[in-house]
Structure 1
Amino acid sequence: MDHSPLTVDYLGCAGRATLPRAGAPVDYASVPFAALPARSVPESPNYLRQWTKAGKHPNVRPAHPGDRAHLALGGTLTGVLDDALAERITATLRSGRYADLAELPGDLVGCLVTDDRVFLFRSLFTRDTLFYKQSGHTLAWSSDPADLIPDGLDRLDRETIWRICRGDSIFAYPELGMLRPGHLLVFDGVSAEVVQYDRITPKPLPRGSTARDYAERAWELLLAATRPYAHNGHIGLLLSGGMDSSAVAAALVANGADVTAYHLATDDPLADESEYAREVCRYLSIPFVPIMTDTGAGHVNEGWRFSHPYNHTGFRWLEQIVQRVHQDGVELLTWGRDGDLLFSPAPDYGVCDVLQGRLSWSEKRLMLRGLLCSRWTLTDLLKSVRRSYSLAIDASAFGDYTRHPDFLVPMPGVRFELPNPEFVPEEQTTDLALAWPHGVQFCSPMADRALYELMTGMPRAYRCISYGGRNINKPVLRLMLEDRLPPMIWRRHGRLWLGSPHENFCLNHPQALAGLLGPDSLLAGLNIVDPAQVVAVLGHPLSTRRHAQSLICTAMTELFLRSLESRTAHPVRS
C-alpha cells in the first residue's frame, strides 16, 4: 500500500532562454504565485521562475539540481521532490530517454534549462499545461499565456474572439504553442521539436467479462488512485451530488481520508441538487458545507481580470468555493472531473458499438432490443451502424454550422467544434485567477492511468445501455456504486435545469450586461457585438433566457479584453 503524501506546492513556471547560452547565467527564482497584473515578466534574457504557494518558503527544493541545469515544475507530485528525483528528471531529459518521463510519480508539467537545450514536458493526466513561442534563437514559455502576449489587443484573432462569445470552448491565442498531454518540446536554439512520449494503452479485462466485472475492477483502481489523498491531512471535495463526485467521496472515505464536502447550493428549485449531496454526506458520515451561490449583481464583476476568457457561467460560484476552502485552511480540492471521460458514451456512440463489441451474442440481442425501444428512431439507429453517425450527439443542435446569438455581428460559415478535453479554458483561468492566488490546488483522483487503461479497453457498449425505454448512461459507474452509496444517487435519472439560476441573473440584472456590452465596449469596437441587439435581447424575457449562457460568456470575454487593455501600452478605446 502506497502511503506517500501528495505535494501540491509547485503551481507552475515561466521562463525564457536564448541558445546557445555560452555561459550566460540563468536568473532563477522560486517565488509565490501572484495573479496578473501584480506579476511582471523579468527583463533578463535567460530567466526561470518556479511559482509556489503564497506563504511557502521561497527556496522550495530543488532550485537547481546542478549548476548547469535549472528545473521547475507544476502540478501534483506523489511523494517529495528531493535532489534524487530532480537529478533523475534531468538525466532522463538529457539522455533522450523520454519514455521514462511516464514513470514520474505524479501529474506534472515542467521545464529544464541547460546550456544547449530547453525541455518542456506535460504528463498524460495533468490538467496543467505550458504555453510557448519561439522567436529566432529564443524560446519563451509560461503556465500563463498572458505572459507571452504583452500586446494582445493589437494581435487578436477576431474570429476566435467571436467564437468564444458564441460559447465555443477554445484557446484565445492561436499564435502560441501549447503542450498536449504526454508530449514534450525540445528546443536547441534553432528549432523546436515536439515529441509524444506517453499514451494510453487500453487494457481490457479478459473476453467474457461483464459490465459488473468492469465495475468491480474500476472500484479497486479508484481506491488505489485516491489512497495518496488519505495522507494529506484535511482535504476538500467539490460535491455536486452527481455520480462522479459521489464516487470520489466514497473512495476517499473508504481510504480513511479527512474530507469535507463543499456543495454549491441554490435557492432555485429547478437547479437544486443539495438533496443528493446531503444524502451522500449523511451516508458516508462526512461534513457537508453548502455554499449559497450568488446570482445577484456580483455574478458578473467588472473588477475581474483574466489571462484567458472564462468561457462559462459559473466563475462567481467558483470564487465563492475557493474563498471558503481557503478560509477553512484547505489547500487540496478534489472533484469528479474525469468521470464523464471515463464512463460516459463516446461522442460517436452508436449501434456499431454493440455490433462490434467484445460481447456475448445474448448481450448483443438484449442491447439491440433496448435500442429499438429507445427514443431514437429506426432511421437514426440504422445510420449509427456506421461510425460516422452518432446517437450521443444531437446533430440537429449543431449541424455543420451553429446559429449565432442574435446580439453578435453575423460571421457566416464559422464551424462549431466540440470541446477539446486536452485543454479546458475555464479550468486554466480558474487556476490563474482564483485557485493559485489563494494557495488552492484542484486535483482529479479519477485522472489515473490504470483507470483510463481499463475504461478505454472496456467495450464501448457498456458506456450506455438502453433498457425499458430509457437510455442508462454510465451503467458501469452505477454498478460500481450499487452497494456503496444510497440508491437515490446511483438510480438517478434525468437532469435538473442547471442553467436556470444563470437565466434568472440575466433577467434580474439586464443593466449589468447592457453596461458591459454597450457601444463603448471593446467587443463593440471590434465589431463583434451589436449593442442595439443586446438591448433588444435583454428587452424580451424569452429571448433573454434563450441567450443567457452566451450573454454571460460574452460579458466575461469583454472582461478578458479589458484585462489585455490594462496591460498594453496602446489602449484601443475610442
Structure 2
Amino acid sequence: MDHSPLTVDYLGCAGRVTLPCDGTPVDYACVPYTAFPERRVPDSPMYLRQWTRPGTGATVQPAHSTDRTHLALGGTLTGMLDNALVDRITATLRSGRYPELAGLPGDLVGCLITDDRAFLFRSLFTRNTLFYKQSGNMLEWSSDPADLVPDALDRLDRQTIWRICRGDSLVAYPELGLLRPGHLMVFDGVSAKVIQYDRITPKPLPRGSTPRDYADRAWELLLAATRPYAHVGHIGLLLSGGLDSSAVAAALAANGAEVTAYHLGTDDPLADESGYAREVCRHLSIPFVPIMTDTGAGHVSEDWRFSHPYNHTGFRWLEQIVQRVRADGVQLLTWGRDGDLLFSPAPDYGVRDVLWGRLSWAEKSLMLRGLLCSRWTLDALLRSVRRSYSLAIDASAFGDHTRQPDFLVPMPGVPFELPDPEFVPEEQITDLALSWPHGVQFCSPMADRGLYELATGMPRAYRCIPYGGRNIDKPVLRLMLEDRLPPMIWRRHGRLWLGSPHENFCLNHPEAFTALLGPDSRLARMNIVDPERLAAVLGHPSSTRRNAESLICAAMTELFLRSLESRTSHSVRS
C-alpha cells in the first residue's frame, strides 16, 4: 500500500468538446477556483479548465501529456502528479483497459480529451463528481452543475424544487447526467456510453470469526488508510465526539499525524457534545479547538450564493469551521463521514439477518432472545423475516419528511425517497461554495477500499446487536475503540437533541424567513411557498419548531434561486 502524502491541489474541472475534432484547439488552462457566480464559463467552443486551490498560482501545472491529449483531475491524489502517472491514465483510457483505473493512487475524478473521444471518470470513493449533458456531437461537463445550464431559472422543475424545500436530497437540474462512483463515460461524438469499471468485492473473514475479529481487522485497515495523512503536515479533524470521528482521531494519533480537532460547540445543553470531544482529545493528546455555533441572525445570510440548493441546516456552522481552519493554515479537513455506511445497521435490517447470517447457533440464539426483549413488537419482528420489511426504517423513522411542510403549497402524492449516498447535495455545495474558495478540501479516511470490502462481507447482524433490552449499534466499532478510548466514548448510547440549535434559531428569528420566503420571494412566485401559511407557521412556536428543518431548506433554496438571478446581472457587468 502506498503511504505517500496526499496532494490536494486539484479540486475539480469543467470542459466542452465537439467531436470529431475539426482542428479547433482546446483552450486548456489551470486556474485557481473561484466561487459561483463570479466564475465565468469560457466562450471557447473547445475548452478544459483544471481548477486548483486558490493561492497555488503557477506552482500547479496542467496535466496534459501532449498537445493532442488533455487531462484534468480533482480529488485527493496519493503522491505527486508526474508525467508517468499522466501517461498511465491516458494509456489506460485510450486502450479501453478501464478496470485498471481502480488502481489509481488516490480518490479521483477526471476527464481526458483526445482527437476522437472524451472520457469522464470517477473513482469509487471520491467525494467529488462530474455533471454532464450532451447536445448532438457536443459534450459539456463540470464539477459545478450551474456551469451547464445558463438559463437555469426557466428550466427548473417545480416539483423538484418543492421536494428540495421539503428536505429531499435531489439534483435540482433534471436534464443533467451525474457520474456515479466507479463509473466512466466515453463520448465519441455520436453517443455517450456509461460503463461501470469498479465495484466493491465483499471480503469476509473466515467462517467462525467473531465481532472482535472484525474489530481487530477494521483497526488494521483504518491505520493503513490514515497513514498517508501522517506525511502532509498540519491537518484538521472535524470531531463531534461520536464513534466515527473518534475512531478517525485515534487512528490519526496512532500514526503520529499532526492533527488538530475542531469541534462545533453550543450553549444549548440539549445538543452539547463537547464533553465527549474534549475527552477524546485529552486521551489522545491532540489539540482541541471548540467553535461556538452561530444561532444568531447570521445563521442564514442573504449574502450567500449557491449554484445548487444546500439541503441542510448547518451551512453557517461549516462556514465557521472552514474560516478557522484556513486561518490556522490547514488545507485538509478530515472527518468520520463513512462510519455510518460501514458499521451502522443496514436500511433493511431485520430478523432475517440473524436467521440466515453467517453466525454460530449460539450467536443466533442470543440475538433472537435479545430481539424479543427489544422495543420492537412481536408483529414487527415476524414481518422482518421477509426482505420487504425493515426494523431499522419504518414509517415513524421518516418523521417530518413524509408529512408535507405546513408552509408549502400542498402537493399531494409527491413521493419521499431515501437519500442517495452517491450524491449528497450539502457536501457538493460545501465544496463549491465554501471549502474550495478557501483552499480547503474535505477528506474521509474511512472511504477506504479495504474497510468497505470488510464491512460488506461482514455478517449484517454484526451491525446491530440486541442485548439487555437495548439495540447496540455499531458493535464492531465499539469493540475497536474499547482499549483505545475512554469508556464514556465507546459505551455512549443514544443521541442528543442535535436539532435543537437550528430549531431555536427559527423560533428566535422569524423575521429572517419572512424576508426570504414572503410574497416577493422567488418560491412564492413559483407557487411553492404559500405566504399565508408561512405567516401562520411563524406565528405559533410549536408549528415553527415542527417545520424548522424545512424552513431552513426552503430559505437556502430561495438563496439558490437568487444566485441564479445574480449570475445574469454579474455577466452583464463583466
- Name the TM-score, length of structure 2 as normaliser: 0.98
- In the other structure, the counterpart of 1:87 is 87
3-state SS in 2 of match to 1:29: strand
d(CA) in 1 for partners of 2:221, 2:63 = 34
C-alpha separation in 2, matches of 1:182 and 1:271: 37
Cα pair 2:27 2:46 within 8 Å, conserved:
yes
Change (3 A) 1:109 1:131: same
Q: Are positions 1:184 and 2:187 aligned together?
A: no
- CA contact under 8 A between 2:167 and 2:401: conserved in structure 1? no
Q: Which residue of 1 aligns with 2:345?
A: 345
CA distances 1:289-319 after superposition (whole Å, capped 9, x unpaired): 0001100000000010001100000000000
Aligned match of 2:411: 411
Once the two structures are superposed, the pairs formed by residues 44-443 of structure 1 within 5 Å of their partners are 44-58=44-58, 60-398=60-398, 402-443=402-443
> Structure 1 residues 398, 277: CA separation in 2 closer, same or farther (over 3 Å shift)?
closer
Aligned-pair distance for 1:395? 1.8
Q: Could you say which residue in structure 2 is the equivalent of 1:26?
A: 26
1:363-410 residue CA offsets vs partner (Å, 9 max, x unmatched): 000000000000000000000001110000122344998220110001
Contact 2:78 2:105 in 1 (8 A): yes
Letter in 1 for 2:58: P
CA distance in 1, matches of 2:567, 2:532: 29
Query: Residues 2 and 78 of structure 2 are in contact (CA less than 8 Å); yes or no, is this contact kept in structure 1?
Result: no
Cα 1:257–1:569 shift into 2, 3 Å = closer
How far apart, CA to CA, are the structure 2 residues paired with 1:275 and 1:484?
17
What is residue 545 of structure 2 aligned with on the other side?
A: 545
Distance in 1 between the 2:66 and 2:72 partners?
13
Please give the alpha-carbon distance, in whole angstroms, between the structure 1 residues aligned to 2:400 and 2:172: 22
> What is the aligned residue count?
571
- Cα deviation digits, residues 320-377 of structure 1 (max 9, x gap): 0000000000000000000000000000000000011000000000000000000000
3-state SS in 2 of match to 1:237: strand
- How much has 1:110 moved relative to structure 2? 0.1
Q: Is the 8 A contact 2:112 2:119 kept in 1?
A: yes
Moved over 6 A (4+): none
Identity %: 84
Letter in 1 for 2:329: G
**8 Å contact kept, 1:61–1:82:** no
- Cα deviation for residue 220 of structure 1 reads 0.1
Secondary structure at the counterpart of residue 212 of structure 2: helix
Secondary structure at the residue paired with 2:325?
A: helix
Secondary structure, aligned partner of 1:256: coil
Distance in 2, Cα, partners of 1:32 & 1:308: 21
Q: Deviations over 1:255-297 (max 9, x none)?
A: 0000000000000000000000000000000000000110000
Asked if 1:469 corresponds to 2:469, the answer is yes
SS at match of 1:73: strand
Deviations 1:229-272 (A, max 9, x none): 00000000000000000000000000000000000000000000
> Could you say if the C-alpha distance between residues 164 and 357 of structure 1 is closer, same or farther in structure 2, counting changes exceeding 3 Å?
same
Question: 2:15 is aligned with what amino acid?
Answer: G
Conserved 8 A contact 1:12-1:75 = yes
The normalised TM-score by structure 1 is 0.98
**Residues 30 and 62 in structure 2, CA contact (< 8 A), matched pair in contact too:** no
Mapping 1:486-525, distance limit 5 Å: 486-525=486-525
**Whole-angstrom CA distance in 2 between matches of 1:59 and 1:288:** 33
What amino acid sits opposite 2:354 in the alignment? V
Gaps of 5+ in 2: none
Compared CA separation, residues 401 and 245, structure 1 to 2 (3 A): closer
Cα distance in 2 for partners of 1:400, 1:322 equals: 30
- Quote the Cα distance in structure 2 between the aligned partners of 1:400 and 1:515: 24
Cα deviation, residue 528, structure 1: 0.3
SS for the counterpart of 1:301 is: coil
Whole-Å separation in 2 of the counterparts to 1:356 and 1:178: 36
1:570 CA drift (Å) = 13
Q: 1: CA distance between counterparts of 2:500 and 2:162?
A: 25
Partner Cα separation in structure 2 for residue 397 and residue 259 of structure 1? 36
Contact 1:12 1:51 in 2 (8 A): yes
The 2-side partners of 1:238 and 1:460 are apart by 28
Query: Which consecutive residues of structure 1, in runs of 5 or more, have no partner in the other structure?
Result: none
Task: Provide the rounded CA distance (Å) in 2 between the counterparts of 1:288 and 1:59.
Answer: 33
Structure-1 separation of matches of 2:2 and 2:167: 42
Displacement of 1:567 in angstroms is 2.1
Aligned partner of residue 58 in structure 1, secondary structure? helix
Q: Tell me if structure 1 keeps the 8 A contact 2:63–2:86.
A: no
Q: For residues 474 and 394 of structure 2, what CA distance do their matches in structure 1 show? A: 18
Whole-Å Cα distance in 2 between the matches of residues 468 and 133 of structure 1? 54
Cα shift readout 1:8-29 (whole Å, capped 9, x = no counterpart): 0000000000011122210000
Find the aligned partners of 2:531 and 2:244 in 1 and give their Cα distance.
Answer: 41
Contact 2:166–2:401 (8 Å) recurs in 1: no
**Equivalent position amino acid for 1:318 in 2:** L
Q: Which amino acid aligns with 2:278?
A: R
Distance 1:397 1:281 in 2: 33
Q: Which amino acid aligns with 2:408?
A: L
Q: Which amino acid aligns with 1:25?
A: P
Q: What secondary structure, in the 3-state scheme, does the structure 2 residue paired with 1:495 have?
A: coil
CA distance in 2, matches of 1:277, 1:118: 47
CA distance in structure 2 between the aligned counterparts of 1:399 and 1:548, rounded to whole angstroms? 13
Q: Distance in 1 between matches of 2:28 and 2:570?
A: 31
Secondary structure in structure 1 of the residue aligned to 2:49: strand
Would you say the 8 A contact 2:208–2:360 is kept in 1? yes
**In structure 2, what is the Cα distance between the partners aligned to 1:401 and 1:223?**
38
State the one-letter code of the partner of 1:266: T
Letter in 1 for 2:163: R
Cα distance in 1 between the residues matched to 2:490 and 2:22? 62
The letter of the residue matching 2:447 is: A
Q: Check conservation: 2:77, 2:108, Cα contact below 8 A.
A: yes
Q: Deviations over 1:26-78 (max 9, x none)?
A: 00000000001111000000000000011113362343111110000000000
Counterpart amino acid of residue 94 in structure 2:
R
Query: What is the CA distance between 1:2 and its match in structure 2?
Result: 4.1
Alignment partners' CA distance in 2, 1:457 and 1:527 = 48
Distance 1:400 1:299, change over 3 A: closer
- 2 CA distance for matches of 1:350 and 1:400? 24
Given residue 567 of structure 2, which amino acid in structure 1 is its aligned partner? R
The code of the aligned residue for 1:58 comes to A
Structure 1, residues 117-157: CA drift from partner, whole Å, max 9, x if none?
00000000011000000011100000000000111100010
SS of aligned partner of 2:337 = coil
CA contact (8 A) 1:400 1:415 kept: no
Change (3 A) 1:297 1:35: same
Q: Is the 8 A contact 1:401 1:414 kept in 2?
A: no
